[in-house]
Amino acid sequence: MTKLSVNLNKIAWLRNARGGFNPDILEMASICISSGADGITVHPRSDMRHIEPEDVINLKKFTIQKGVEFNIEGNPFSEAENDYPGFMNLVGDNIPNQCTLVPDKADQLTSDHGWNLTEENSKLQEIVDQLKNLGIRVSLFMDPDLDQISRAKSLGVDRVELFTGPYAHSVVEGTVENIIPTYQESLSHAISIGLEVNAGHDLNLNNLKNFLNLGTIEEVSIGHALISDALVYGLENTVKMYKSLCI
């Protein structure tokens, strides 16, 4: 069964829009876990538009207490800036179960592409080795590209997270049958070379089940769509709805 990790970025974003402590991120995390979520994901950024360093510290303690997984995702080359300690410092101080490395820029609205591993990767190799030495499972955010996935394997990562934005877009456009073979082949290839597979980005109640039917996917990380649906169905019911689709 695929695990569901709930990304709490939008909860933190709503809190930060007003300031103060409402909504309380630990209370929302507790509702997610009690409703069936298998883990919590955060994607801290240097502008701290949503998740802040203190959130990472508190959620690390929370996930240990609840016995669930903690996934920190982001760009490993994001350096310290003002009150932001830098991505690798944040990870090193709050050892997560999994670290998902994403090639996004500081001012990017959201992640929109996977790593291009045809370029020089010595620095990324160093990052992977450092995380592995800390006992952290390492996943790379990747496009559904066979060559790139093979290159990810050569870096010694444990998993790849397939960027599902194009899939979700194709569902809306009615062209999903054109792109499904690409994802199917990428999933099968990753598994055949010894990689486990996660998936994320724009997955929602309308497209999640069909994507998971493609094969063995270890985990999906869902934030924006799930929190948006919670405005209609409530957070507890929404998490249960998503979890019911994680076959």
Q: Which residues does the annotation mark as catalytic? A: 43, 73, 201
Cβ distance 225 to 187 under 8 Å? no
Coil/strand/helix, residue 31: helix
- Token digits of residue 67: 């016995």
- Which of 68, 126, 77, 75 is CA-nearest to residue 97? 68
Apex 84 CA angle, 62 and 26, nearest 5: 20
Cα separation, 234 vs 226, whole angstroms: 10
As a three-state string, the secondary structure of 169-196 is: HHHHHCCHHHHHHHHHHHHHHHHHCCCE
Distances (CA, A) of 195 to 107, 152, 158, 163, 233: 31, 9, 6, 15, 35
